Amino acid sequence: MNHGLLPRFFEHVTRQSFRDLALDDPAVVRYLTDLLTRFARSEALYAVHEAAARRLTTVTESLLAIERVWDLEAPTFNPGEEVTLRRQVGDYTLFMTGIFREHVERLAVVDYYEREGRRAYHFVSETARARGQADAPVFRRLSARFPYWAGALQYARKVYFGHEPWPPDDPLLRAILAR
Protein backbone atom coordinates (compact mmCIF):
# COMPACT_ATOMS: atom_id res chain seq x y z
CA MET A 1 0.00 0.00 0.00
CA ASN A 2 1.29 3.47 -0.81
CA HIS A 3 2.44 5.37 2.29
CA GLY A 4 -0.07 8.14 1.51
CA LEU A 5 -2.91 5.64 1.21
CA LEU A 6 -2.21 3.95 4.53
CA PRO A 7 -3.08 6.93 6.75
CA ARG A 8 -6.24 7.54 4.73
CA PHE A 9 -7.23 3.89 5.05
CA PHE A 10 -6.69 3.91 8.83
CA GLU A 11 -8.51 7.22 9.18
CA HIS A 12 -11.52 5.84 7.29
CA VAL A 13 -11.55 2.64 9.37
CA THR A 14 -11.12 4.49 12.66
CA ARG A 15 -13.82 7.06 11.86
CA GLN A 16 -16.23 4.35 10.73
CA SER A 17 -15.53 2.26 13.84
CA PHE A 18 -16.20 5.28 16.06
CA ARG A 19 -19.47 5.95 14.20
CA ASP A 20 -20.49 2.29 14.53
CA LEU A 21 -19.75 2.37 18.26
CA ALA A 22 -21.36 5.81 18.83
CA LEU A 23 -18.04 7.27 19.99
CA ASP A 24 -17.40 10.92 19.29
CA ASP A 25 -13.85 12.15 19.81
CA PRO A 26 -12.22 13.53 16.65
CA ALA A 27 -8.90 14.17 18.42
CA VAL A 28 -8.67 10.55 19.55
CA VAL A 29 -9.63 9.40 16.04
CA ARG A 30 -6.66 11.40 14.72
CA TYR A 31 -4.38 9.96 17.40
CA LEU A 32 -5.46 6.37 16.74
CA THR A 33 -5.10 6.91 12.99
CA ASP A 34 -1.54 8.07 13.56
CA LEU A 35 -0.90 5.15 15.95
CA LEU A 36 -2.13 2.58 13.43
CA THR A 37 -0.13 4.21 10.64
CA ARG A 38 3.08 4.25 12.71
CA PHE A 39 2.64 0.71 13.99
CA ALA A 40 1.84 -0.67 10.53
CA ARG A 41 5.63 -0.92 10.28
CA SER A 42 6.66 -3.59 12.80
CA GLU A 43 9.86 -1.77 13.79
CA ALA A 44 7.70 1.08 15.12
CA LEU A 45 6.34 -1.27 17.78
CA TYR A 46 9.80 -1.15 19.31
CA ALA A 47 10.74 2.38 18.27
CA VAL A 48 12.16 3.50 21.58
CA HIS A 49 15.84 2.87 21.99
CA GLU A 50 17.98 3.33 25.05
CA ALA A 51 21.23 5.29 24.94
CA ALA A 52 23.09 2.10 24.04
CA ALA A 53 20.79 1.77 20.99
CA ARG A 54 19.30 -1.47 22.30
CA ARG A 55 15.69 -1.84 21.24
CA LEU A 56 13.15 -2.07 24.03
CA THR A 57 10.88 -4.94 23.15
CA THR A 58 8.65 -5.36 26.18
CA VAL A 59 6.64 -3.16 28.47
CA THR A 60 8.76 -4.28 31.40
CA GLU A 61 11.99 -3.35 29.60
CA SER A 62 10.54 0.07 28.85
CA LEU A 63 9.54 0.60 32.48
CA LEU A 64 13.03 -0.43 33.61
CA ALA A 65 14.51 2.02 31.10
CA ILE A 66 12.46 4.77 32.74
CA GLU A 67 14.13 3.95 36.04
CA ARG A 68 17.55 4.06 34.36
CA VAL A 69 17.02 7.53 32.88
CA TRP A 70 16.59 8.78 36.45
CA ASP A 71 19.75 7.07 37.80
CA LEU A 72 21.95 9.96 38.91
CA GLU A 73 25.03 7.74 38.92
CA ALA A 74 24.56 6.41 35.38
CA PRO A 75 25.75 7.97 32.14
CA THR A 76 22.20 7.40 30.85
CA PHE A 77 20.77 10.01 33.28
CA ASN A 78 18.23 11.89 31.18
CA PRO A 79 14.89 12.45 32.93
CA GLY A 80 13.57 14.27 29.86
CA GLU A 81 13.47 10.92 28.08
CA GLU A 82 10.75 9.67 30.43
CA VAL A 83 7.92 11.29 28.45
CA THR A 84 9.04 9.55 25.25
CA LEU A 85 9.34 6.20 27.02
CA ARG A 86 5.97 6.53 28.74
CA ARG A 87 4.22 7.53 25.52
CA GLN A 88 5.71 4.46 23.83
CA VAL A 89 4.41 2.28 26.68
CA GLY A 90 0.94 3.79 26.28
CA ASP A 91 0.97 3.42 22.51
CA TYR A 92 2.31 -0.13 22.56
CA THR A 93 -0.13 -1.36 25.21
CA LEU A 94 -3.09 0.31 23.50
CA PHE A 95 -2.14 -1.09 20.11
CA MET A 96 -1.53 -4.61 21.40
CA THR A 97 -4.60 -4.65 23.66
CA GLY A 98 -6.77 -3.42 20.81
CA ILE A 99 -5.40 -4.98 17.64
CA PHE A 100 -3.86 -8.16 19.06
CA ARG A 101 -6.22 -8.69 22.00
CA GLU A 102 -6.28 -12.49 21.71
CA HIS A 103 -2.49 -12.60 21.92
CA VAL A 104 -2.46 -10.32 24.99
CA GLU A 105 -5.18 -12.50 26.57
CA ARG A 106 -3.15 -15.66 25.91
CA LEU A 107 -0.21 -14.05 27.68
CA ALA A 108 -2.58 -13.15 30.56
CA VAL A 109 -1.38 -9.53 30.59
CA VAL A 110 -4.55 -7.63 29.67
CA ASP A 111 -4.96 -6.06 33.11
CA TYR A 112 -1.24 -5.28 33.29
CA TYR A 113 -1.24 -3.67 29.83
CA GLU A 114 -4.35 -1.64 30.61
CA ARG A 115 -2.95 -0.46 33.96
CA GLU A 116 0.45 0.47 32.52
CA GLY A 117 -1.09 2.07 29.42
CA ARG A 118 -3.39 4.21 31.54
CA ARG A 119 -0.53 5.20 33.85
CA ALA A 120 1.70 6.04 30.91
CA TYR A 121 -0.86 8.23 29.17
CA HIS A 122 -1.74 9.91 32.48
CA PHE A 123 1.92 10.82 33.00
CA VAL A 124 2.21 12.15 29.44
CA SER A 125 -1.01 14.13 29.92
CA GLU A 126 0.10 15.72 33.17
CA THR A 127 3.52 16.56 31.75
CA ALA A 128 1.93 18.12 28.65
CA ARG A 129 -0.54 20.04 30.85
CA ALA A 130 2.30 21.39 33.02
CA ARG A 131 4.13 22.50 29.88
CA GLY A 132 1.01 24.14 28.46
CA GLN A 133 0.89 21.79 25.45
CA ALA A 134 -2.34 21.58 23.49
CA ASP A 135 -2.35 17.76 23.31
CA ALA A 136 -2.67 17.25 27.10
CA PRO A 137 -6.47 16.65 26.94
CA VAL A 138 -6.05 13.92 24.30
CA PHE A 139 -3.61 12.02 26.48
CA ARG A 140 -5.91 12.51 29.50
CA ARG A 141 -8.79 10.93 27.55
CA LEU A 142 -6.53 8.13 26.30
CA SER A 143 -5.73 7.37 29.94
CA ALA A 144 -9.23 7.77 31.33
CA ARG A 145 -10.96 5.70 28.65
CA PHE A 146 -8.15 3.30 27.71
CA PRO A 147 -10.42 0.20 27.59
CA TYR A 148 -12.87 2.02 25.28
CA TRP A 149 -10.16 2.94 22.80
CA ALA A 150 -8.70 -0.57 22.94
CA GLY A 151 -12.20 -1.90 22.32
CA ALA A 152 -12.63 0.44 19.34
CA LEU A 153 -9.35 -0.84 17.88
CA GLN A 154 -10.41 -4.43 18.51
CA TYR A 155 -13.73 -3.74 16.79
CA ALA A 156 -11.95 -2.12 13.82
CA ARG A 157 -9.69 -5.15 13.44
CA LYS A 158 -12.54 -7.63 13.60
CA VAL A 159 -14.94 -5.72 11.34
CA TYR A 160 -12.68 -3.90 8.90
CA PHE A 161 -9.36 -5.76 8.88
CA GLY A 162 -10.75 -9.25 8.28
CA HIS A 163 -11.00 -12.38 10.35
CA GLU A 164 -7.62 -13.96 9.91
CA PRO A 165 -6.81 -16.47 12.62
CA TRP A 166 -4.44 -15.16 15.27
CA PRO A 167 -1.57 -15.56 15.28
CA PRO A 168 -1.25 -15.91 11.51
CA ASP A 169 1.02 -18.53 10.07
CA ASP A 170 3.83 -16.04 9.55
CA PRO A 171 7.21 -17.08 11.01
CA LEU A 172 8.53 -13.51 11.13
CA LEU A 173 5.51 -12.18 13.01
CA ARG A 174 5.63 -15.13 15.40
CA ALA A 175 9.32 -14.43 16.08
CA ILE A 176 8.55 -10.77 16.84
CA LEU A 177 5.73 -11.69 19.22
CA ALA A 178 7.84 -14.35 20.96
CA ARG A 179 10.23 -11.67 22.24
Q: Tell me the three state secondary structure of residue 49.
A: strand
* For residue 167, cis peptide bond before it (omega within 30 degrees of 0): yes
Contact by Cβ (8 Å): 82, 65: no
Give the model's pLDDT for residue 19: 96
pLDDT(44) > 80: no
Give the model's pLDDT for residue 107: 87
% pLDDT > 90, the chain: 58
| Helix axis angle, 26-39 to 136-144, nearest 10° | 80
pTM of the model: 0.76
Confidence category of residue 163, pLDDT binned at 50, 70, 90: low
* Short-list 117, 144, 111, CA closest to 59: 117
Q: Please tell me the total number of residues recorded for the chain in this structure.
A: 179
pLDDT(74) > 60: yes
Contact by Cβ (8 Å): 166, 102: yes
The whole-angstrom separation of Cα 37 and Cα 164 is 20
Give the model's pLDDT for residue 75: 75
pLDDT tens-digit map of 3-34: 588 899 999 999 999 999 999 999 999 999 99
Residues 25-45: what's their mean pLDDT? 86
